[in-house]
Structure formats: structure tokens, C-alpha cells
Structure 1
Amino acid sequence: MKLEFAPSARSTVGIEWEIMLADPESGDLVGRAPELLAALEAESEDERHTVTGELLTNTIEVTSGVGDSVAHAIDDIASAITAVRSATDPAGIELLSAGSHPFAQWFDQEVTDKTRYHTLIERTQWWGRNMMIWGIHVHIGVEDHRKVFPIVNALSGYLPHLQALAASSPFWAGERTGYASNRALVFQQLPTAGLPWPLHDWSQYESYLDDMVRTGVMADATEVRWDIRPAPRWGTIEVRACDGMSSLPELASIAALVQVLVEDFSRQLDEGRTLPEMPAWFHRENKWRAARYGMDARVIVDAAGTQRPVREHLTEILERLSPVAVELGCGREFGGVATTLDDGASYERQLTIANATGGDLGAVVQHLIREFRSGPESSIDEP
């Protein structure tokens, strides 16, 4: 199967953000996206951003245009949120984002009435119905398809760092899971989801797709749901491993880290260097550790099996790559990673609220609603 990789300007940025719709008083999810989307989709036709539906009717997704910087893409997302609020505020609907809703139940949610969603649920059954998960996708432009899989394989070594920073799903259906990112382990239950296969060039990817389509596993490349995947239609590498971010500044920081890592790897390839890779079993273990322990994870950082605390390793990454961030014009957003290291990731802040309120998950939802409106709250603040 021959698959074209669209022309794309190097290190451009695109962002997708999945957002929950909630009742402002109870904090529970409300399946009211269908009544809002017709107008919102029409209004976004002439804008750089888009507003669309998702698998469940309790979700709206906002997407940026192609940004020449992180700030450019984030401005699009901010405009999209403003447009969404123009519909949700009068309707009495609140917005929030995290990898999971703290107490909502899967059997109370409705699937969006589209053939592809019904097909997914028919195939995946209980696991598909349990996909009460929200995430972000970050696209980075790659100018040459020959770079795609060397970068994907090298970037896989940083998935636990990204997953830990974005971890925001410590609760599931009213239960404290003991995981920083329960979403990470739920999502991989879908067919074709999870870590990318260790392919080494574009022709191997085409052969993989041919096998998957020929055997009825998927219809086309859009059904590849890896944590990092090529997005041939856009000419990008797409990182999909992260939980839904609880605030716009945190979303910007993750986008900046992904952009800087991809650009750094691209420069190494330009210099004729071979990018680092690790065995697939190390990536699998790293994913579990980041999901379980979040920012307290000790991750494997090279093929020799060297292990480092993820906070410590991230600090070194920030120092090493800050010049690249400045050159890309995302120094401020890149510095937001350090803020998360200092103040705590969303899962940590949610647990702080729960502990301070005797386990009141309604208070956790109200905390997430506030953060979505105003930015991260200090991890030591109480409601």
C-alpha cells in the first residue's frame, strides 16, 4: 500500500484538545454536545480553529490551525474556547478537561450518532463503552517522510516524561485508582492503540497498513491509534499519549516540549547522526511506570537500562534544550514545564483537593472547572 506523506513545513504545530461538558452544580457530565455543535461548527468554518464532536455526546473537541509557533496554535485554541463558551455559558454548561472524570459512570453516557463511532462500539463492546477518556494531540510538522520513523522511535523514549507531566486521571468512576494516569492503561485496550510498533522506515509502515487493511483490522491509516503516530494527511508526527490537560498554560507547555524534542531530533538527523532507540520492552515498562507513579516515576532512559527519576531527567532536558526552544520562539511555553515540576501535575493537585475535603470528588470537579477557566491552582491551595 503506497501512502503519501503530505508536504509540511518543519516544526509547525497543531493542537487538539478534548473537553468535557458538565453540569455546573452537580459537576456530573451532560450529553449536550449535539445541541451545540451545529452552530459552533458553522461558526468555525471561516476561522483557523475548528470545533467538533467526539465519541461521546458529553465531549467537544477544539483544534488549532497550523501554527508557525506554539503561541500561534495556542491562540487558535483560546479563540475556540471563547467560541465554545459563547454557547455553553448561556446554556448553563461548564467546561473542564482531565484524562478522566472523577466520578461519572460509563453507563450514563451516550455515544455520538455517527457510523464510525457505532462501528467502534460494536467491535470493542465493554471496553469501547468504557472509553470515558479525554486527551490532547500535538502535531509537529516533518518536512521529509524519511525522518518520520527515526524520530518516532527516538521520541518514544520521552513518552513517559510527557505522560507524567500530563497525568490527570487518578480517579475512575468514583474510585481512587492509585494511578496518576488511569487513562493511559484504559486507552491501550482499543485495537491498534498503545505504543507504536518499532518500524524503521516508511516502507515498513506501508507494509504494516497493508497487513492491517487486508486482514480487516482497520479501514485506513486514521484507525492507527498509537501513542505516537504519523499523520500522513497533515505531514506530521502526532503525539497522542497525554491525558487531557487541565488548563491552557499546561497545554502550551506540553506542546512546546514536543515541538522542541522533534526539532532537536530533526537537527541530529541533518547532522548525519543516528537517533537513540530503546528495546520495546523498556518502552512498555516506562509507560506503566509513568501511568502508575506519574512525576514520582523512575524511568529507563537508554538502551543500557539506565534509570532516572523523571523529575530529575526532565530538569536536565529543560536545561539542555532551552536554546532550541528560544530559537523556535516557544521559550516561555517551554518554561511552563518547570512550573509543573515545581507546582505539581494535575493528578497531584486533584489528589490534594480530595485529601483536603475528605474524598469529596465533587470538590475535585469544581477544582477542575476553576482551573479550566483560570489556570492551574497551587498544589497547596484548598478549595
Structure 2
Amino acid sequence: MTEIRSVRPPESRAVHPVLGAAGVDELPPRATPDTGPSIAEPVDAELLRSLFASTVGGTVGFEEELLLVRRDSWLPADAAGLVNSIGDARIKPELPACQLEIATSIHTEVTGAVEELRACRALIAAACDPELAPIATAVHPLLDGSAALSRTDRAAALRVRYPEVIGRQLVSSLQVHLAFGDADCTLGVYHALRDLLPELAALAASAPFAAGRDTGLCSIRPVIASQLPRQGVPPIIDSWEQYADNLTWLAQGGAVADAAEWWWELRPHLRYGTLELRVLDVQATTDQTSAIARFVHALAAQLTDQYHLGELRPPSPSWKITENRWAALRDGVCGELLDLRSGEARPTSRCLHDLIDGAEPYAAGDLDGVRAMVEEPPVKQLRALGPQRVVPWLAEVFSV
């Protein structure tokens, strides 16, 4: 049986959806970067149920991937020294040498998680030497070719198993961890969010540039990520038994080293007992992050309510969601999506406005910020700047 540490807290402690068991304002030691539990042995479905039932429903946490660049060229710089100089467990290196990640503490309100994210961004910016700058971009607009990897055993192992393409995975996302405190509800919301991945991707699309040119897409990030296996729209998971069998099948022949390589755009996270939403491009500013995250948190609460009322629809075939996913990465909020049941084409902006209206009663306050992003998508401003001017602008607004 896989060893997965329990996250059921003592009575006075809450479950951290990203970092484990801790009080709301207490940060526990960070787990080993970029690793999941070993799945070398068969995964037990009952253990999975226990894990996903032991979280505190409604709590939320973020992981945000960022880049460090040199101001003289605006090209990537090694982030290891910066991370070490900061010395904060919430800020850690990532697989590409120029990438670092913020992992927030647990929060019962999404606004608290955003403010912690903002504070961590400020720490990073303050720690940079004058010749360096942090930026938040889903794909580096200027880099042409592979990026250097971190000097770690994990990076070396991935380089062997995924030669050439692993160095091209300089992609950054905003990962939202959502806890439900109920294993069956977790799977129910998993399938509901899975249907909505194209809408969420279109909303957050902010990577039109690569190798110094406009790709014609609103986000090139998923195209780059698709060079690796287990990317994009995740499979239907009929039960925890099936999920355990899937992971065991992958592990038996050595296809994966750990569960962290289940790289889909939405996944049950085996270390934290959360749903990890991975479809969102990282946002240039924390104001944009706040708008999207408040909507996602409210949407999850709405879907939880619908699950308990028996109102969630059966999951859709992957190929239909993938069809919409392509339209989302190409056109963002300005395109059309097909209804997953009828096939009727609807403006993506209308789909998003309907979702926002439905989720707003579950939000703390209004969702006008995310409505504004639908009307004036971030990718529009990026395109107005162009690939050469956008990187200095990203550095300028990093702490906004």
C-alpha cells in the first residue's frame, strides 16, 4: 500500500490544502519540492477515500509559478540563489532553473490567500539584485529553445525519461487547491470542473507570445505542455477504486516515478487530499489573480451545493471537452464553445457571464473583477504591448 500521510488535524488545527495539517496562520515545513507520494506499491482505494474525506471543506490554497529574468536582456536567470537568500518555506525552486514557486498557507477565505500571495511576491521583488526582476508569465515571451533545469536529482531523472521535451517545459500556471472534506463530493466536483476547463482556460489565457513572436493563440502554454504525457483534459474517474487502479497501472511498469507526474489540468492531489485546478495561466498581477481565484472558489462552493442536491450532470466525454479546450486556447474569451450535450455554439463570453452570475451568491462580495476580465481580457493588453515590450511591463506590474 502506498504511504500517504494523513491530513486529519487535531481538533484545534485546520487542514492545509497545499501544505498539510496546520493552523490557519501557522506554516508547517514544506514537503519535498515537486514530488508526490510514491506509488511503487498498489494504491488502496479506502486510503484514498480517507485522505480526501479528512480535509476541511471550503478551504483554499494557491501555488503560483514565477520566473526570474535579467534586466539587461530580459531572458531567464537562475533563481536558486534568490530562493536561498529569501529563506522562506513558502517560496521554493521549481524544475526549470529560472522558475520559482509560491505556495500559500491554508485560508478559509480566498481574499486571505490572495493577500498572502501578494506579500510573497513583495518578498521576492525586494530580495532581487538590481540586475534581476521577477515576472509572472505563463510562457516566456522571448525565449527560443530549451531552458536550463535545476541541479537536482529529480530534474536529472526527468531529463532521462523525457529527453529534449523536458527542457521546453518553461510554463507557469496558477494552481488552486480546493478542499471538500468528502471523498465522493470531491469526485463529483472533479467531473463538474472537468466540463468547465475550457471556460476557465479562456478566462485566464495570457500567453500569446513565444520565441519573440505572436503565436496567434491566446495561450500557447497547453501546446508546449502537451509534449509531455498525461496533459490536458483529465480522464473520467468513475470511482476511487478506478483511480487507484489507474495509478497502480502507471507505477507497475515504471511509467511514472510518483503521483506528481499525473500532470492533467485538473487532478485529485494525493499528498493534500484536494482537487488541484491546473488549467489557469499565471496572471501578471495579483489583482487579476484575485479576480479569477474569487470566482473559482465561489464556483467550487456552488458545485458542492449542487452535488449535495443531486443536480450535477454525468461527466462528458474527454474528446468533447478537448474540442472546446482548443477553441479556448486559440480564441480566449472572444471565441465560441460548443454545449457539451447539444453541440450548440455559444459565445465564450456569454458562457462565462452565466457561470459568474450563478457563482456570485456563493462569493464573499461581488465578482465584478472577473466580469471586467471577460470584457477586457488580459491577453488584449499583452498583445498591444508586443513580445519585446511586454517583459519590462511584466516586471513593472509584478507586485500590483
TM-score (norm 1): 0.88
Instruction: Tell me, yes or no, if structure 1 residue 62 matches structure 2 residue 120.
Output: no
> Partner residue of 1:220?
258
- 1:1-383 paired onto structure 2 within 5 Å: 1-2=43-44, 3-4=47-48, 5-6=51-52, 7-31=54-78, 33-40=79-86, 42=87, 44-45=88-89, 50-88=90-128, 90-107=129-146, 109-325=147-363, 329=364, 331-332=365-366, 334-345=367-378, 347-354=379-386, 361-374=387-400
- Secondary structure of the residue that 2:56 maps to in structure 1? coil
| One-letter identity of the residue aligned with 2:93 | G
Give the aligned length. Answer: 353
Deviation of 1:92 (Å): 2.7
Deviation of 1:25 (Å): 3.8
In structure 2, what is the Cα distance between the partners aligned to 1:217 and 1:16?
A: 26
Residue ranges of structure 2 left out of the alignment (5+ in a row): 1-42
In structure 2, what is the Cα distance between the partners aligned to 1:320 and 1:257?
A: 10
In structure 2, what is the Cα distance between the partners aligned to 1:306 and 1:143?
A: 36
1:306-341 deviation per Cα after TM superposition (whole angstroms, max 9, x unaligned): 32111111112222221111xxx2x35x33211212
Q: 1:34 to 1:56 in 2, by over 3 A?
A: same
- Secondary structure of the residue that 2:162 maps to in structure 1? helix
Are 1:298 and 1:308, in contact at CA under 8 Å, matched by a contact in 2? yes
| One-letter identity of the residue aligned with 1:238 | E
- Secondary structure of the residue that 1:373 maps to in structure 2? coil
Q: 1:353 to 1:91 in 2, by over 3 A?
A: closer
Are 1:26 and 1:362, in contact at CA under 8 Å, matched by a contact in 2? no
Are 1:148 and 1:202, in contact at CA under 8 Å, matched by a contact in 2? no
> Partner residue of 1:377?
none
Most deviating of 131-140 and 190-199? 190-199
Most deviating of 115-124 and 130-139? 115-124
- Secondary structure of the residue that 2:55 maps to in structure 1? coil
Deviation of 1:220 (Å): 2.6
Task: Indicate the RMSD between aligned Cα atoms, in angstroms.
Answer: 1.6
Residue ranges of structure 1 left out of the alignment (5+ in a row): 355-360, 375-383
| One-letter identity of the residue aligned with 2:83 | L
In structure 2, what is the Cα distance between the partners aligned to 1:373 and 1:172?
A: 23
Decide which structure has greater helix share: 1
Deviation of 1:300 (Å): 2.0
In structure 1, what is the Cα distance between the partners aligned to 2:286 and 2:55?
A: 25
1:226-285 deviation per Cα after TM superposition (whole angstroms, max 9, x unaligned): 100001321211100111211101111222222122211111121233435322111110
| One-letter identity of the residue aligned with 1:96 | I
- Residue identity over aligned pairs, in percent, reads 26
In structure 2, what is the Cα distance between the partners aligned to 1:92 and 1:192?
A: 38
Are 1:168 and 1:243, in contact at CA under 8 Å, matched by a contact in 2? yes
In structure 2, what is the Cα distance between the partners aligned to 1:142 and 1:11?
A: 6
Most deviating of 285-294 and 114-123? 114-123
In structure 2, what is the Cα distance between the partners aligned to 1:241 and 1:62?
A: 17
In structure 1, what is the Cα distance between the partners aligned to 2:248 and 2:260?
A: 13
- Secondary structure of the residue that 1:106 maps to in structure 2? coil
